Structure 1
Amino acid sequence: MFDLDDTLIDHETAARHAVLGWAADLAISDPEVVRRWARVSARHLDRYQRRELTFAEQRRERVREFLGVAMTDQEADTLFGGYLERYEDGWTVFEDVVPTLRRARAAGLVVAVLTNGEDSQQRRKLDRLRLTPEIDVLVASSMLPAGKPDPRAFQRTVELLGVDSGDTMMVGDSLQKDVLAALAVGLSATLLDRADTQRNVGVPRVQSLHDLSFA
């Protein structure tokens, strides 16, 4: 079972380039614009995962807080569209993804993606990057009672797959949301640390998906 954003798809780079172009169009010259957008986005996306906001509402709240301006829903949707178009244009897949997914399937494993996101958007990522044929099941948090790291996200996904928790491995880039949360409900888990910045965390860790073993 794989996470999607920043595990299979380079979300961080796409988001960074998108907000820089969007901010330039809005005449925002803040040197901290990328970090500020990331903080605002994380805060409201977490609220969405806890079901405090709908997916559309979290987008609007991100825009309102980021710009510090009161606006209607329609105005917020229009402004967010300027970011979203750039973000979608920036989607790319990491080079180690397709070979790894194919190795897993060749080993007789069911390949699933468990992602914190809205189902249609996450499916669009897979389709655009030609990853849909490489996986068996996509489970987006919009289909679940709550998103990662809530235990129900993992428990429900395992139920949907028809497998035992002890026979399932989670691979993701987030120590808290992907790895520790999966371990807490009986899955095995491996941290993907592409930047080699999370050493000595006490869990299995790889820097590339090529390093995963499916024996």
Structure 2
Amino acid sequence: MIEAVLFDLDGTLLDHAGAAEAAVLAGVAAELPGREFDRDEVLRFWRHLERVEYDRYLAGESTVHQQRRNRAAGLAAHLGLGEWPAERADAWFAGYLRRYERSWRAYPEVPHVVRELGATRRTGVITNGEGDIQRRKLRAVGLDLLVPHTTASAEAGCAKPDPAIFHLACRALGVAPGRAAYVGDRLDVDAQAATEAGLLGIWLDREPSGEGSAVPRVHSLAEVAALLG
């Protein structure tokens, strides 16, 4: 019997990729007025920077501000804009964040699915990130009351895929790991990590990758209720 369902936030409940893409493309267009650029290539490089620098932050190798600065400066160098000083990189990233926040959206099926699951089970979020901004995302898209508990890595002192953050969230909800499910869009740090922590890990593979997996897989959150029975 699954008594609680926990969710990843970015890429699972909130369309982080869509918001980030809109924000970075607008930022690049402002830096290259009147010039054509390869949108797909820019997005691929930005996603690479985000993954590398955010993983370094989670590993304790940089601060949240340093990883943001590194991403802005790295993109500028990639675009041939030269070596940006810290102040220039910080200013660009501040603009990126404003555009990113204006583009926050939940995936279309999310409110209904979370409300349905929450009618019979406790719900919450486990997220690698800063608690304040992650809760602000939930409020902005109207999910804060549907998933009332958020376990954020910056507050927990541990981050996915560490089993400790999953166990901390389960204790907060008053359930044993074996009676909780966790749904996330990354196979490794979400579904597999949750499984190794003793939860029912579910991989949300929104754009079927063809990658093999030993954990349950869904292509939409709308499939989770049926999976849980």
Q: What's the TM-score once normalised by structure 2's chain length?
A: 0.87
Q: Deviations over 1:27-83 (max 9, x none)?
A: 175421111111111111011111222211211111122223544443322110121
Tell me which of 3, 13, 27 is aligned to 1:8: 13
Unaligned runs of 5+ residues in structure 2 are: 1-5
| 2:218 paired residue number | 206
Distance 1:170 1:198 in 2: 21
Distance 2:24 2:170 in 1: 35
| 1:24 paired residue number | 29
In the TM superposition, residue 156 of structure 1 has moved relative to its aligned partner by: 2.4
In the TM superposition, residue 125 of structure 1 has moved relative to its aligned partner by: 0.7
Name the amino acid aligned to 1:25: A
**1:126-137 matched pairs, under 5 angstroms:** 126-137=138-149
Name the amino acid aligned to 1:171: V
Q: Deviations over 1:130-179 (max 9, x none)?
A: 11111120111111223211222223222333321111111011000101
Unaligned runs of 5+ residues in structure 1 are: none
| 1:60 paired residue number | 69
- The more displaced of 157-166 and 205-214 is 157-166
Is 1:34 matched with 2:43?
yes
Is 1:80 matched with 2:93?
yes
Q: Following superposition, which runs of at least 4 residues in structure 1 exceed 4 angstroms of deviation?
A: 69-72
Tell me which of 117, 131, 135 is aligned to 1:119: 131
| 2:3 paired residue number | none
User: Does 1 or 2 have the higher relative contact order (CA < 8 Å, sep 6+)?
Assistant: 2
Name the amino acid aligned to 2:168: R
| 1:151 paired residue number | 163
Distance 1:161 1:85 in 2: 33
RMSD after superposition: 1.7
Distance 2:159 2:74 in 1: 23
Distance 2:108 2:156 in 1: 30
| 1:100 paired residue number | 113
Whether contact under 8 Å (1:96, 1:209) holds in the other structure is yes
Name the amino acid aligned to 1:18: A
Distance 1:146 1:47 in 2: 14
In the TM superposition, residue 2 of structure 1 has moved relative to its aligned partner by: 0.3
Q: Deviations over 1:180-206 (max 9, x none)?
A: 111111111111111122453222111
* 1:134 aligned counterpart, secondary structure: coil
Percent identity between the aligned chains?
Answer: 37
Name the amino acid aligned to 1:189: G
Instruction: Quickly say closer, same or farther: Cα 1:62–1:110, change in 2 above 3 A.
Output: same
Q: What's the TM-score once normalised by structure 1's chain length?
A: 0.92
Name the amino acid aligned to 1:98: P
